[in-house]
Structure 1
Amino acid sequence: MTGPGLKEGSIILFQYVDLAGFLRSLESRYDGGGFEARFDGSSVIGFQGIEDSDLMLKGDPETLRRIPWAENLYRILSMIHLPSGERYNRDPRYIAEKVSKYSVEEFGLEPLVGVEVEFFIIDSLDVDTSTPEAGLGYSLTSQEHPWETNSVGEVKKAYHSVEPVDRLLHYRLLLHKYMEEVGYSGLEVTHHEVALAQVEAEIRAGSPLVIADDVITLKWVARALAEAEGKLALFMPKPVYRDNGSGMHMHISLWKGKENTFVDSEGGLTQTARSFMAGILEHASSLAALVAPTTNSYRRLVPGYEAPVYICWGYRNRSAMIRVPAYDDASKARIEFRTPDPSSNPYLAIAATIMAGLDGVRKRLDPGDPLDKNAYTLTAEERRRLGIKMLPKSLDEALDHLESDHEYLKPVFDDDVIEAYIDVKRKEAELVRTAPHPMEFRLYGGL
């Protein structure tokens, strides 16, 4: 595949993703040959040391697309190789490839994944991290409503709102158009989410690699489109105090040929589905370090804002960490994992979630009874009696769990990858932990 209109002299953006999930790019003029470029791996988060820094990008021809908002410009997602030609074990795309191969070879099951990505479209973001006098403050502005006047009652009115209350329809329609041209699958549904200035974009289901590619593409397109509209796309899990945060819910099923192994002949959940859920529940605390991987993630994972806090499952229960959405035919039976957020590296988050579920299938774990109550309203005694534990309350706590519980990630994740990832995230957590917080000035400034 060479892409429509690609000819010698065209500029190609070689894009790849680092361990933390940041999209990176270099530009190269197409010479009519293959798609290769070399780069310095020591300058990339979580990659090589300076003493052994050379890495190589090999563009994946299946991902080559013309960029619709630019002239004679293309993008290609790349696979990372060592100078010897071997695949690079810390390449997130490689990890997403390996999880599908592992699932098929070891279990005879093919994962199908869909995601809902939530994010904010704001007019401006002002951040001051340089002067102690400012209290490391920030401010957001949106044309939809002044943030400071929000109340819980007002916030709920934003869900599925229409023009003129909804000021983001034009943006979402352009997002559909560009994703159809640049992505694999395109978007299935978009709408205004619960919070003011918040968007949800649902990506059509596919393989782990395809969907992770589409999530990365969505974030890139959303930011470029917002910039062109004089706005900012913000994928932080919790940018607004006392308002809903942004999740990246995963919808997962396992298939054997054309058979959805999550549903039986009577329309109920199979043991495979139950064990898959049980594996995710079993490893939820360590999994959090990969699916909710920022310090800001744990500002979202608090009671009352439709984000999961308790490790449990239920049917159609949005207060549970895993829910089973209603389905009207076998092809739509799936589980929805609600802990992930869009700050995660989608390749690692999707692969790790599948590995946790498959560990449950291997061990034939059982998730117990579904929760049919609002988890946020349970008393401590009720949670103890039901055996419901809480997710970690901080990134540091989640990383502690990942250090002690990561065998289930092998062989898709090497020890080297896990160690490098934890090191990157420990440094992030330390940076935030040692910086004064604006609320501290409010609480302690008068002492």
Structure 2
Amino acid sequence: MPSTAEDVLKFLKENNIKWVDLQFTDVPGRLHHITIPASDFDLESLKTGFGKLDGSSIRGFTSIYESDMVLLPVPETMTLVPWSPGVARVLCKVFWGGGKGRFERDPRFIAEEAEKYQAEQGYTSFYGPELEFFMFDKVKLDVSTPQSGTGYKIHAREAPWSDSGTFVIRFKEGYYPAPPVDQLMDVRLEIVDTLVKYFGYTIEATHHEVATAGQGEIDFRFSTLVDTADKVQTLKYVAKNVAAKHGLVVTFMPKPIYGDNGTGMHTHLSLWTKDGKKNLMYDPNEEYAEISQFGRYVIGGLLTHARALSAIVSPTVNSYRRLIPGFEAPVYIAWSKGNRSAVVRVPAYYKGMEKAKRIEYRPPDPSTNPYLAFAALLMAALDGVNKKIDPGDPVDENIYHLTPEKRRQLGIKELPRSLNEALDELESDKEFLKSVFNSSLLDTYIDLKRDEARSLQGYPHPMELYYYLDS
């Protein structure tokens, strides 16, 4: 992939590129693009950017009276678009027009600032998100004949009421079934092959997930904060486009099916020395999970700010339909090794392996803005380190099965149960973010999410009609 402006021009020429997609991310986390002629690229434009953006039409960006904005390509993200011959794409930084500098509400800017902040303190961090998703043939609203207790008919290749094949997957029994039960392996492999061949990914695994109808997961090799966020956006972009070729719809919606597992983005996190040579989370002499005292402070920061973090890492009304007991989604603010009922898990697959030592933060889902999510996790972790926040004792039992009284005795709190509750927590606990998250971004984000929650609150749910229409 190109790394300099000169490399970009060479790449465009060698690959006979006619059009370039300039891509960027809005505040809620949705990818946008504008396509321009490749002939517009020269050394000057790659230095000054392209004045092609009306920021007033992008959620969370600017007002109509200050709408001219500039997109500056990031050379190392330039790649071919395999399903569109003669087209390349490149991720962009967003700047104010008129030479006023970097746009402070550009989510990628927040992630870049987080990396600068950690470097100043002598650290670097690595992230490994596990992206889950559903693949559907189509989604159809049907309130007259709910199936399996839902108000939705999900038409999917693997749906348990489908007559499209002999083999079906029962509810909550979709984890790792071999073909022909797993009928979507071919599409997932095309997605990962595309990521590897055209976008430079190293794929660690892909598989069917627990939920019944078409749920999958793709895991790629961990990387630094900004690069991992770029990769999340790119993976979603590729998955949706490859699936569309097969007449399928990929959704990263957290909870599209009632009564079955939702879609998460469990995020693995480790902090190292600035030079990347020593994993500060690892202590071979520590009996419990080989997690160092430094690592415990990281966990302490994440647990302390878990309720506020929810507004960023679980950012939709639908996210809180996933965060309920019984579906492997975390609800209780505790930590443990190998325990998927806790918010923070210390993976315990290996012993004596420094490079593998990390924690897994389980609340995020892929509807989040990854630039903001990873930056917020880092800031919570560093707050724990700087304040030496002890996480308390680990809880090595199924927290879902503990009585409320037992959880109170252990001091186990719960994550918010709604987006509004999470936003309340963020408004009261955002000081730890402010070294990186400017007030303009935070205030805009909270306002957008308040509007979203208020809007959805006003719509009758299909199941409300099912329950109450004859009342």
Match of residue 189, structure 1, among 205, 221, 234:
205
> Once structures 1 and 2 are overlaid, which stretch shifts more, 140-149 or 81-90?
140-149
Q: Pick one of 243, 247, 263 that aligns with 2:282.
A: 263
CA distance in 2, matches of 1:183, 1:243: 32
Aligned 8 A contact 2:243 2:250 in 1: yes
Distance 1:382 1:427 in 2: 37
Q: Does 1:76 align with 2:90?
A: yes
Once the two structures are superposed, what CA deviation does each residue of 1:346-386 show, in whole Å capped at 9, x if it has no partner?
10011101101110101000001111110101101001000
Q: Does the Cα contact within 8 Å between 1:68 and 1:181 map onto a contact in 2?
A: no
| 1:37 and 2:36 correspond | no
Matched, 1:47 2:66: no
Give the conservation status (yes or no) of the 8 Å contact 1:313–1:370: yes
Kindly indicate whether residue 353 of structure 2 is the aligned counterpart of residue 336 of structure 1: no
Structure 1 stretch displaced more, 63-72 or 78-87: 78-87
Are 1:367 and 2:375 an aligned pair?
no
Partner deviation per Cα, 1:178-207 (whole Å, 9 max, x = no partner): 111343434221111111210011121001
Q: Using a 3 Å threshold, how does the CA distance of structure 1 residues 406 and 118 change in structure 2: closer, same or farther?
A: same
Report if the CA contact (8 A) 2:135-2:251 is conserved: yes
Given the alignment of the two structures, is residue 88 of structure 1 paired with residue 120 of structure 2, yes or no? Answer: no
Q: Check whether the contact 1:123–1:232 (CA below 8 A) recurs between aligned residues.
A: yes
Residues 1:6 and 2:9 are matched in the alignment: no
Tell me how far apart the structure 2 counterparts of residues 40 and 279 of structure 1 sit (CA, whole Å).
39
SS in 1 for 2:170: helix
Q: 2:257 aligns with which of 240, 263, 266?
A: 240
Identical counterparts, % of pairs: 45
Structure 1 portions without partners, runs of 5+:
130-135
Equivalent of residue 183 in structure 2, options 151, 167, 173: 167
Uncovered stretches (5+) of structure 2, i.e. residues with no partner: 144-149, 164-168
- Taking structure 1 as the reference length, what is the TM-score of the superposition? 0.94
CA contact (8 A) 2:297 2:391 kept: yes
Q: Which residue of 2 aligns with 1:15?
A: 23
SS of equivalent residue, structure 1 residue 75: strand
Residues 1:230 and 2:252 aligned together: no
Q: Which residue does 2:166 correspond to in 1?
A: none
Q: CA deviation at 1:94?
A: 1.0
Change (3 A) 1:364 1:207: same
1:204-227 C-alpha deviation (Å, 9 max, x unpaired)? 100110000000001000000110
* Number of aligned residues: 437
Q: Please say which of residues 335-344 and 35-44 is displaced more in the overlay.
A: 35-44
- Residue in 2 aligned with 1:120? 134
Q: Shift of residue 176 of structure 1?
A: 1.2
User: Residues of 1 paired with 2:11 and 2:374: CA distance?
Assistant: 34
1:90 is displaced (CA, Å) by 0.6
User: Which residue of 2 is the match for residue 201 of structure 1?
Assistant: 218
Residue 379 of structure 1, aligned match among 383, 400, 403? 403
Report Cα offsets for 1:406-444 as digits up to 9, x if no partner: 010011100111000001101110111010011211221
**Closer, same or farther in 2 for the Cα pair 1:309/1:9, shift >3 Å?**
closer
Shift of 1:266: 2.2
Q: Match of 2:159?
A: 145
2:76 corresponds to: 62
Contact 1:312 1:322 in 2 (8 A): yes
Alpha-carbon separation, structure 1, partners of 2:179 and 2:248? 18
Aligned equivalents of 1:441, 1:20: Cα separation in 2? 30
